[in-house]
């Protein structure tokens, strides 16, 4: 097993990929100020995210793993003989392993991730652990069109897998675009299994993004450290504060970095002014109901094929079939 922390990469729907500098400067010139959440995940940010998933307050990862384990046999019934499992944003393939174990009918596993190095390394271990399975990694941005390997295209059916509620970090129109892109890649008759964080009491949501140990705050503030390091920024971290709260109207957790005073900061040679209390909006994490996700999916041709949740109904695994 490799000791390195699996580096999480959050893709952003976009045909051309602007640079970190362009995105940060454009975001800091805008009103309100914002920086795309995908930039959280440098090495330190990926490590902090791994720690978040283990926090007592951050329930999503534990709930999803438990639900996958408890219902693996049921979920595996969706898998026809010889099918290919295509995981969007596979990272360390930890969750896929649960399905691979439960569904020996799978002939191929296609981990797709923007971080090629990580999935190639993971593929070596998967081939050793699942000798009957063809492991066919693809390095790609999951929000853009990409080609599947021929063996996966030739499979009688392709089943998409998108766990982790990563869909919650997309704006709703981006989530629709992702679902449409997934349908095009997986083709007619495909299925899609998605993990999504559910709407729940606001105290539970707020606690999950305001942990007592302050790890989520460090994860948020690490964005400023990254800007300082990579873009010659002059952010003083003790003059910014982590703010995270549930926006009931928009069904989302918002994360911000609030300036504690009026100040000027330099980024890539440009001066950015902050009012006292002004924030940089760094992340949205949308929460769905089973119905609202199904409605979004139906809008682009995916029809419900199954739904599983934990005892507290905190997190949901939903399956869809593509109707075309
Ligand atoms: C990766 N993503 C699903 C996490 C979430 O809950 O939206 C990222 C995160 N942000 C703060 N804590 C965790």
DSSP line for 136-154: --EE--TTS--PPPHHHHT
Per-residue pLDDT, 212: 98
Per-residue pLDDT band at 15 (split at 50, 70, 90): very low
Per-residue pLDDT band at 140 (split at 50, 70, 90): very high
Tokens in use for 14?
């976009």
Mean pLDDT of 185-194: 94
* 25 CA from centroid of ligand 1 (Å): 23
Mean pLDDT of 86-101: 96
pTM: 0.94
Per-residue pLDDT, 113: 94
Mean pLDDT of 78-104: 97
Which of 27-31, 115-119, 174-178, 179-183 is the least confident region?
Answer: 115-119
For residue 138, give the nearest of 160, 109, 178, 159 by alpha carbon.
109
Partner residues linked to 195 by β-bridges: 317
Mean pLDDT of 130-147: 96
Strands of 47-128, DSSP E: 84-88, 108-113
206-217 pLDDT, tens digit per residue, is: 999 999 999 999
Is residue 42 over pLDDT 70? Answer: yes
Mutate to test the pocket of ligand 1, among 57, 209, 221 (most ligand atoms within 8 A of CB): 209
How far is the C-alpha of 196 from the C-alpha of 60, rounded, in Å?
A: 9
Query: Percent of the chain at pLDDT above 70?
Result: 94
* 323 CA from centroid of ligand 1 (Å): 31
Per-residue pLDDT band at 148 (split at 50, 70, 90): very high
Per-residue pLDDT, 10: 59
Strands of the chain, DSSP E: 33-34, 84-88, 108-113, 134-135, 138-139, 158-162, 191-197, 240-247, 252-259, 263-267, 270-274, 279-286, 302-309, 315-322
Which atom of ligand 1 lies closest to the CA of 53? 13
* 160 CA from centroid of ligand 1 (Å): 21
Is residue 39 over pLDDT 80? Answer: yes
DSSP annotation of 80 reads P
Mean pLDDT of 8-20: 61
Find the farthest-apart pair of alpha carbons in the chain and give their distance in angstroms, rounded: 63
Is residue 108 over pLDDT 60? Answer: yes
- Rg over alpha carbons for the chain, rounded to the nearest Å, is 20
Inter-residue long-range contacts of 53-59, CB under 8 Å, 24+ positions, other chains counted: 55/208, 55/211, 55/213, 55/215, 55/216, 56/211, 57/207, 57/208, 57/210, 57/211, 57/212, 58/208, 58/211, 58/216, 59/204, 59/208, 59/314, 59/315
Per-residue pLDDT band at 8 (split at 50, 70, 90): low
DSSP line for 222-245: HHHHHHHHHH-----GGGEEEEEE
CA distances to 101, 158, 285, 317 from 193, in Å: 16, 11, 19, 7
Q: Is the CB of 282 under 6 A from ligand 1?
A: no
Is residue 14 over pLDDT 60? Answer: no
Tokens in use for 3?
């000791």
For residue 33, give the nearest of 185, 255, 233 by alpha carbon.
255
Mutate to test the pocket of ligand 1, among 254, 283, 284, 286 (most ligand atoms within 8 A of CB): 283
DSSP annotation of 79 reads P
């Amino acid at each position: 097993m490799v000791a390195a922390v699996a580096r999480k990469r959050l893709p952003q729907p976009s045909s051309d990929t602007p640079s970190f500098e362009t995105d940060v400067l454009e975001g800091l010139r805008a009103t309100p100020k914002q920086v795309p959440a995908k930039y959280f995940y440098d090495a330190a940010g990926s490590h902090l995210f791994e720690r978040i998933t283990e926090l007592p307050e951050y329930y999503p990862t534990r709930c999803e793993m438990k639900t996958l384990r408890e219902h693996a046999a049921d979920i595996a019934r969706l898998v026809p003989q010889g099918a290919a499992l295509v995981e969007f944003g596979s990272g360390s393939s930890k969750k896929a392993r649960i399905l691979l174990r439960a569904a020996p009918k799978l002939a191929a596993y296609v981990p797709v991730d923007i971080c090629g190095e990580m999935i190639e390394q993971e593929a070596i271990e998967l081939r050793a652990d699942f000798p009957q399975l063809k492991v066919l990694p693809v390095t790609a941005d999951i929000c853009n069109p990409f080609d599947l390997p021929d063996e996966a295209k030739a499979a009688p059916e392709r089943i998409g897998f998108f766990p982790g509620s990563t869909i919650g970090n997309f704006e709703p129109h981006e989530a629709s675009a992702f679902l449409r892109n997934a349908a095009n890649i997986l083709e007619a008759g495909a299925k899609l299994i998605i993990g999504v964080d559910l709407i729940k009491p606001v105290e539970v949501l707020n606690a999950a993004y305001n942990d007592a140990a302050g790890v989520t705050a460090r994860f948020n503030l690490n964005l400023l450290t990254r800007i300082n390091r990579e873009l010659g920024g002059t952010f003083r971290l003790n003059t910014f504060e982590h703010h995270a709260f549930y926006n009931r109207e928009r069904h989302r957790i918002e994360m911000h970095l609030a300036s504690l005073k009026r100040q000027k900061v330099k980024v890539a040679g440009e001066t950015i002014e902050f009012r006292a209390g002004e924030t940089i909006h760094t992340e949205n994490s949308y929460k769905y109901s089973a119905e609202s996700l199904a409605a979004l999916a139906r809008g682009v041709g995916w029809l419900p094929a199954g739904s599983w949740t934990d005892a507290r109904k905190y997190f949901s695994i939903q399956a869809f079939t593509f109707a075309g």
